Amino acid sequence: MGLPELWFVIIAILWTGFFVLEGFDFGVGMLHRVVGRTSLERRVAINTIGPFWDGNEVWLIVGGAAIFAAFPDWYATWFSASYLAVVLLLVALIIRGVSFEFRGKVDQPGWRRLWSGTLTTGSLLAPLVLGIALGDLVAGLPIDANGEFTGTFWDLFTPFGLWTGLTMVVLCLLNGATFLGIRTTGEPRKRAHRAARWIGWAGLVVVTAFAVWILIVADHGWGPVVVLVVAPAALVVSIWAVHQERDGFAFLLSAAVTVCSVAGLFAALYPQVLVSSTDPANSLTVHNAASGNYALTVMSVVAAVFLPLVLLYQAWSYFVFRHRLST
């Protein structure tokens, strides 16, 4: 495996890690008004992700930065094509982050409803936009021979991209519901179980359709087939675990569904990094979009040193804040 291939794998891992970790954050943000019927119950739901959400967003920053450094042509074309979508993503992340801080500043029902609404909206828009953007990589965008995006904003809404966005939203909801099952007690936990069961069955349809569609859109060997067959199977077992109130097992399996789905997407994309719908010859690949060997070597050394440290720190933070929260 050469350095370009290695960094494609690292980027896939970073984006997968983001959707697993920040995915349950988004899910809790969307569900906090579902599992919490009172202001106190909603605060408990939000507090379950209080120590984690900002740290989990680092995975998105590092994932984008890795593309910028390792595949500058990919970064330039994809991010310029998605400029307005990136602005929408930033707005969603900003209002979501602000809502965490502002919701408890004023003890008024209207004030809390306002910031609960922004938390729900931001938590929904972020995975939707990111899912559409990732789906577009496989479905293809109008790219010319110079690697320039020649379409409009509306060309970003490819059918497969939209379905990928829906899939990411559903997976985030499922991860959020199973995470709340681990971290809460009493009525919020019971409501989280009910939500996880409903979302799980809906997710089975969505994920299965996503798996079939991606195999139709991009046929690149048996790798994506194996990964995407595992995703619906893991989802079925996760639903069973929710029924059995085996919260930890249910969350791990729902996270496995996300891992399989995102990893399958990148496996189907390889060796391209951005497909051109104008002409396949214009597609950006792992090799024609990569940085020079020296830059990739330096990045590999930095990643080998700091990535394990980040993983250890995050694992420690999850261990410290592992206990359930109650009203």
- The enclosing H or E element of 226 equals helix 223-243
Average pLDDT over residues 164-190: 94
Query: Dihedral of CA 292/297/298/304: which sign?
Result: positive
List the single range of 34-48, 181-195, 219-233 with lowest mean pLDDT: 219-233
Q: What is the band of 173 on the pLDDT scale with cuts at 50, 70, 90?
A: very high
On average, the pLDDT of the chain sits at 90
Whether the pLDDT of residue 162 is over 90: the answer is yes
Tens-place pLDDT, residues 106-134? 778 888 889 989 999 999 999 999 999 99
φ/ψ of 45, rounded to 5, equals -60, -45
Tokens of 235: 């989802």
pLDDT digits (tens, 9 = 90+) for 208-224: 999 889 888 876 666 67
Give the span between the Cα atoms of 180 and 190, in whole angstroms: 10
Question: Which token pair is 302?
Answer: 């930095």
Q: What is the pLDDT of residue 147?
A: 83
Distance CA 17, CA 202 (A): 23
For residue 228, is pLDDT > 90? no
Burial class from Cβ neighbours inside 10 Å (0-12, 13-18, 19+) for residue 313 reads: exposed
Q: What is the mean pLDDT of residues 3-19?
A: 93
- Of the listed ranges 65-69, 91-95, 177-181, 320-324, the one predicted with least confidence: 320-324
State yes or no: pLDDT of 71 exceeds 90.
yes
Would the pLDDT of 301 be above 70?
yes
Quick: pLDDT tens for 243-288: 998 999 999 999 999 999 999 999 989 889 999 988 888 899 999 8
- Residue 319: pLDDT band (50, 70, 90) is confident
Model confidence band, residue 236 (pLDDT cutoffs 50, 70, 90): very high
| Nearest-angstrom CA–CA distance, 35 and 177 | 9
Q: Give the E-state strand segments of the chain in sequence order.
A: 272-274, 284-285
pTM of the entire predicted model:
0.93
Mean pLDDT throughout 147-175?
92
With contact defined as beta carbons under 8 Å apart, do 188 and 325 qualify? no
pLDDT > 70 fraction of the chain, expressed in percent and rounded: 98
